Chains A and B, each alone.
Chain A
Amino acid sequence: MIAARAYLEDGRIGAGLAAVNAEVARILAGFDSAALVEPAALLPADVLIDLYGEDLRARAFTTHDPVLGEQMLRPDFTVPVVQMHMAVGNEPARYRYAGQVWRKQEPDSDRPTEYLQVGYELFDGTDIAAADAEVFALISTALKDLPVQPVTGDIGIMLAAIDALETNERRKAALRHHAWRPNRFKRLLARYSEGAAVSADRAALLQAAKSGTLKDVLQQNGPVIGLRSTAEISERIEILLAESEVEPIAREQVARLEQVLAISGKTDAAIKTLQALNADTTALEARANALEKHGINGFDLPFKAGFGRTTLEYYDGFVFGFHAPDHPDLPQIAQGGRYDALTRVLGQGQGIPAVGGIIRPEALLALKGAL
């Protein structure tokens, strides 16, 4: 037990350990056009929590330092690599790294709480399709001859489908904001298309807003406590009033969005379906063409429009994963994607187009061992 590590019985000693180190070195060598970086294992928690939200506390280990405050054991490399790049880097830049990440798992899960990642991150905004293809091809090459199945997706397709809805910007922004939380997204879409039940209290409130007596109503219901001011409350009531008068999103429009999100098949078929739905497929085609240069038939790759939508990550463009179909006990052997929005958040608005991917060397070795 003490010599066991993620997916490997004896991975911490002797030949088992040597095999892990050799595998990590092999993958890193494949990424040798990139600069090696080694982010800290202990990261300030506030940045990560602000980025990922409170849910991250259920997924990452936190600890407390009396001076530094709340710290978090590195749940992924992307955030510290982006920060490092923003502090010192010039574009274009390529980074590679290897090391542990730590994740809390569900109590009844046998997934490891500590595992290795070997990764590659590319910061270059000159040719998005070429950058996406470069990362996918590198990961794909590192996994060649293994029984793994790629899946690709593109969060941009979903965001564009939201944008194409004929409705106001506020509704689109709310749908975009909750695109990574399918339950909330579904509820919002239902409310915007079918309308929401209006309680008697809500009807009275809207009536007050309409007749200009909101101020009095707020005064009668005082006192005001807490940081959220009456200005904010009134503002939202005005929004509710405006929203109650907005035309519902047409049923065909919702159906189109749902059709886009349900697309699953080969990339060339997905492109045809998207075109039939009047969606812009330029980015998809450009990427597929860029993959040709790496000897990969991009039009033949499986494409799922909903792929990458339920992860914790901030992916907002190309997404991909490689899984071992015959080994459901293993996680995805590799995964990655584009995260331009994350760089904008970390850079306080100053974003850098960025795409990256990681391989899980222990899972990869377990797969090799099972062959």
Chain B
Amino acid sequence: MNPLKLAVPSKGRLQEQTIDWFAARGITLKRTGSGREYAGQVLGVENVELVLLSAGEIPRELAAGRIHMGVTGIDLIREKIPAWGAAVDEIARMGFGHADLILAVPKIWLDVENLDDLAAVTAAFRARHGMRLRIATKYHNLVREYLRQNGVADYQLVDSQGATEGTIKNLTAEAIADITSTGATLEANHLKILPDAPIVKSQATLFGSRNANWQGAAGVARQEILDRILRS
């Protein structure tokens, strides 16, 4: 007996949409207990165990093979798993939770409209202020790699796990790299997106672990879930 462990986000809109997405494919995800308890069950496919996890932790658990399948953002998978292609496979893009990881700078930076400008500004800023221009983000790996590929230097990343749009006003950063869906928060904080290609275009996605034990029941359940997705 080796049940398939399916992890879905433990709360919020992402969880609701995940439940709806599976329901449309004849798979019912049910939270058990009081609704505050992080436990659940799966009806419609045999031998599937529901695991409720923070979307941010699902990539790590998939990479470790402790869960078989998980719903999380493409952004989080790429940020948190080195060589993610070898650790997980993308089973289905789910069509919600769309968000782009973008670079944003103050709107008043009228002289900055692309990465070429940003590269020039970081160099000038460093010469003037004696420190590297600070970019606040929680996506360190993705942002660093993106800027390296685009030949932007003279910056430093500062960690920001929330309210990143506020860091510039608070003088703890000069630019930010963050997830945005509508851009409303950026607008409200007097920021503008650099229109170069987004660092990552993300959406909620069902991933499978390449490192989990797929023997027995888990493998059978996997096939059943894949069939349901294909039929929908």
Q: List residues of A whose CB falls within 8 A of some B CB.
A: 49-50, 53-55, 57-58, 107-108, 174, 177-178, 181-185, 187, 191, 196, 199, 201-202, 205, 217-218, 221-228, 230, 232-233, 236-237, 240
Contact = CB atoms under 8 A, between A and B. Distances in A.
Contacts of B148: 55, 58
A196 B125 contact: no
Interface stretch (B64-72, B114-122, B199-207): B114-122
A225 B168 CA distance: 7
Interface stretch (B40-48, B94-102, B103-111): B103-111
B113 A233 contact: no
B154 A53 contact: yes
Contacts of A222: 108
Contacts of B113: 199, 201-202
Nearest to B83: A107
B118 to A, nearest CB: 11
Most central of A196, A218, A228 by chain B CB within 10 Å: A228
B190 A228 contact: no
A224 B108 contact: yes
A54 B155 contact: yes
A58 to B, nearest CB: 6
- 8 A-B pairs closest in CB distance: A184-B151, A107-B83, A107-B82, A183-B151, A226-B168, A181-B151, A236-B111, A225-B169
B169 A226 contact: yes
Interface string B171-183: 1011000000000
B152 A225 contact: no
SS class, residues of chain A in contact with chain B:
helix
Contacts, number: 103
Contact of A227 (B111, B120, B171): B171
Interface of B: 82-83, 86, 106-111, 113, 116, 119-121, 123-125, 128-129, 131-132, 140-141, 144-145, 147-157, 168-169, 171, 173-174, 189-190
Contacts of A232: 124-125, 128
A178 B122 CA distance: 12
Given A53-B132, A227-B171, A187 B110 contact: no
A221 B108 contact: yes
12 contacts: A55-B144, A55-B148, A107-B86, A108-B83, A174-B120, A174-B123, A181-B151, A183-B149, A218-B108, A233-B108, A233-B111, A237-B111
B130 to A, nearest CB: 9
Contacts of B168: 225-226
